[in-house]
Structures are given as C-alpha cells and as structure tokens.
Amino acid sequence: MTKTLLVSTSPSVRNALNYLFTVILKFDFECIDFDACEDWLHNNENVNAIFVDMTEANSNPAPLISKLTTHAQPGVVLAIQELKGVWGADAFEAGAIDVLTWPCNLRELSLRLSYGDRKFDVHVAKIRKKFADTFDERISVETVRSSGYMLRTGGLNAFDPT
C-alpha cells in the first residue's frame, strides 16, 4: 500500500490532504507536526511520499527537507508553500522534487502524482531498453514490488573495457 506522510501544523492543509489520500486515493496517510519529525525519522518507516507544509513554518524548513529527502528513499519529498512563499527555491535545493502552491486543486495534485509515477516508469523502460541493446541480458533493471528497482549485473563488470 502507498504510504504518505504530511508534516504540517495547518488544519486546512491537514484536512484537505487527509481527505485526498485516505478517501479518494486510498493511501495510508500519516500527519505529524514539525516537532515530531525528529522522532519520526528515528522510527525508520518507509514512505512513498512526504509533503512538507511550509505555509505556517516559523523558519526555513530546508534543513528538515534535506533530512527527509535522505530518509524517503526511494520515495519523494514535495513542499507546499503559499502564493508568496519565500522558501520554494530552498526546498528544491534541499531535495524536494516539487513545490506546490497552497491552496491547490486536489484533482490536479492527484493527477500530478500519478503522472509522475507514469513518467518515471517510462524513464525506467527506456533505461531497460538501452541496457538490453548494449549488454543483452547481462545487465538489467528489475522491479521490486512496492519498493523500487534493482540493477542486476550477473557478475558483469560494465566498467571493464575488455
């Protein structure tokens, strides 16, 4: 099951995303505030996506986004900011793959997430084809259900010029 984490103190963001992820998309959804992040990081829970709500943050959340990005592997971190938010560029530099403006259209957000998955799958398919064309079956990319992808080399040293 897809698991999503929201780091937020805003009731409007919490309620809207809770509805989107639990009712519409049927994802496992957890919401915590900024103070609980350090404890959450030590729990070693796997998530597919982490949303960091910057709309009510008291300080630049870039250091937190950086930590969460490292922890979310192979998941992704997305940041949420107000229309005149000032930390969007910092969020990208810290590793967020997207910065959403709040309020946003929930239908658009759900399609954006789905499109991102399809776009990534197409990218992996192209990589698989390039490996097959270059290395036959000696190097391949295998899908690991609900986890990500695994590179299989069959003992081949792809960096050996011989």
pLDDT value of position 119: 54
pLDDT value of position 123: 64
Say yes or no to pLDDT of 147 above 60: no
Instruction: Report the 3 state secondary structure along the chain.
Output: CCEEEEECCCHHHHHHHHHHHHHHCCCEEEEECHHHHHHHHHCCCCCCEEEEECCCCCCCCHHHHHHHHHHCCCCEEEEEEECCCCCHHHHHHCCCCEEEEECCCHHHHHHHHHHHHHHHHHHHHHHHHHHHHHHCCCCEEEEECCCEEEEECCCCCCCCCC
To the question of domain 3-104 being in CATH 3.40.50.2300, the answer is: yes
Least confident range of 51-55, 87-91, 110-114: 110-114
Q: For CATH 3.40.50.2300, list the domain ranges present in the chain.
A: 3-104
Report if pTM > 0.95: no
Q: pLDDT tens digits for 108-123?
A: 888 777 765 555 566 6
